Amino acid sequence: MWKKILMPYEQAVEELTGKFRQMVNQYERLGLYSPIERVEGRVKTLSSILEKCQKKGIEAEDAPEHIEDIAGIRLIVQFVEDIPRVVEIIRGRTDMEVLSEDDYVLGMKESGYRSYHIVVSYAVETILGPQRVQAEIQIRTMAMNFWATLEHSLQYKYEGNVPENIRLRLRGAADALLAMDSEMSSIRDEVMDAQRFFSEKANVVYDILNNIQSLYETENKEAMANIQNEFYELYKTADLPRLHEFNTKLDAIAARKKRQDLS
Ligand code: 0O2
């Protein structure tokens, strides 16, 4: 019975993680800053579902209706400022409907937990027909994720009864990470500039290498050796405008060769 119940959730996790990863790829391909850094997904284990049912006092067969995080997606971001951007992206999508939101970023939990939760309704097409499932999307910074992962392990180790002294230290660590997130936000522009630079450089180098590869078919060995040497020298300088200029020059050579071949 559970295999059949969990199937659409497995499909939803697979599809949603794929869609968010595709989003990250598209930002990178266009040389734009991606508000999402990393995408993770999991289907809650059966023992964890049953445990939650017991905790909430619900029957196991009512789990799909009452447990919102059977399908769980985690979007890790670099800066706290990225969280509202990702929330807006999710709200604006037509392939998922937002059912509820919990802001534990503004309202940190007593434990020290911080994260933004969105529960969505998502449609999957299975071999048994279309089905709508709920999925919980957790959006958090790397620092928030670090804390939640460690705290989760401790909750597991102490079966939910973490000793008072450890709880206090976890709370202290959460406050320190909150300060770290705000410190990182203050140098956000600097970090984003550096990342934009690396992404733009990677894209132009990719285009140059493609151009060089296709010129090998038409140019003679000596001309290619000169082109390659010029590229290596430029690459070492990491001078973006000159790399773009060089790529435009290669585009022009390739276009000229094409015209000659056609005439
Ligand atoms: P797991 O193992 O990660 O799946 P509610 O319905 O609001 O009464 P619920 O359903 O627990 O209670 O909702 P909530 O509070 O939004 O929590 C959902 C998930 O958020 C949890 O799932 C955790 O993943 C995460 N979470 C919430 N609070 C904490 C916390 O204090 N510490 C950590 N590490 N994670 C937290 P599960 O099923 O509890 O756990």
CATH code of the domain in which 73 resides: 3.30.460.10
For the CA of 109, the nearest atom of ligand 1: 31
pLDDT band at 229 (very low <50, low <70, confident <90, very high): very high
Residue nearest to atom 7 of ligand 1 (CA): 102
Nearest C-alpha neighbor of 124 from the set 101, 99, 98, 96: 96
Q: Is residue 207 part of a domain?
A: yes
79 is in which domain, residue-wise? 2-164
Is residue 149 located within the same domain as residue 52? yes
Q: Report the share of the chain in percent with pLDDT over 90.
A: 78
CB burial string 210-242: b at 16+ within 10 A, e below: ebbeebeeebeeeeeeebeeebeebeeeeeeee
Domain end, chosen from 164, 183, 211, is at: 164
Interval between CA 134 and ligand 1 midpoint (Å)? 15
pLDDT at residue 53 in the model: 94
Is residue 66 located within the same domain as residue 139? yes
**165-191: average pLDDT:** 94
pLDDT at residue 220 in the model: 84
Alpha carbons 214 and 196: distance in angstroms, whole number:
27
Q: Is residue 171 part of a domain?
A: no
Is residue 144 located within the same domain as residue 200? no
Is residue 109 located within the same domain as residue 196? no
Q: Is residue 45 part of a domain?
A: yes
pLDDT at residue 192 in the model: 87
pLDDT at residue 38 in the model: 97
Is residue 159 located within the same domain as residue 195? no
Alpha carbons 20 and 38: distance in angstroms, whole number:
9
Interval between CA 26 and ligand 1 midpoint (Å)? 31
Is residue 127 located within the same domain as residue 6? yes
Interval between CA 199 and ligand 1 midpoint (Å)? 35
Is residue 92 located within the same domain as residue 157? yes
Interval between CA 220 and ligand 1 midpoint (Å)? 64
Alpha carbons 57 and 45: distance in angstroms, whole number:
18
Q: Is the CB of 101 under 6 A from ligand 1?
A: no
Q: Is the CB of 52 under 6 A from ligand 1?
A: yes
- Write down the residue that tokens 């206090």 correspond to: 168
pLDDT at residue 221 in the model: 85
Q: Is residue 181 part of a domain?
A: no
Residue nearest to atom 3 of ligand 1 (CA): 152
Q: Is residue 134 part of a domain?
A: yes
Does 263 score more than 80 pLDDT?
no
Is residue 147 located within the same domain as residue 208? no
pLDDT at residue 28 in the model: 87
Catalytic residues: 136
Is residue 116 located within the same domain as residue 196? no
Q: Is the CB of 71 under 6 A from ligand 1?
A: no
Q: Is the CB of 56 under 6 A from ligand 1?
A: no
Is residue 217 located within the same domain as residue 141? no
Is residue 6 located within the same domain as residue 108? yes
Q: Is residue 177 part of a domain?
A: no
Q: Is residue 156 part of a domain?
A: yes
Q: Is the CB of 48 under 6 A from ligand 1?
A: yes
Domain count, the chain: 2
Q: Is residue 72 part of a domain?
A: yes
For the CA of 117, the nearest atom of ligand 1: 16
What pTM does this model have? 0.85
Is residue 21 located within the same domain as residue 60? yes
Interval between CA 88 and ligand 1 midpoint (Å)? 22
Domain end, chosen from 146, 164, 182, is at: 164
Residue nearest to atom 22 of ligand 1 (CA): 69
61-67: long-range contacts (C-beta < 8 A, 24 or more apart)?
A: 63/5, 64/5, 64/133, 64/134
pLDDT at residue 100 in the model: 98
**178-204: average pLDDT:** 90
For the CA of 42, the nearest atom of ligand 1: 4
**210-219: average pLDDT:** 87
Does 261 score more than 80 pLDDT?
no
pLDDT at residue 196 in the model: 85
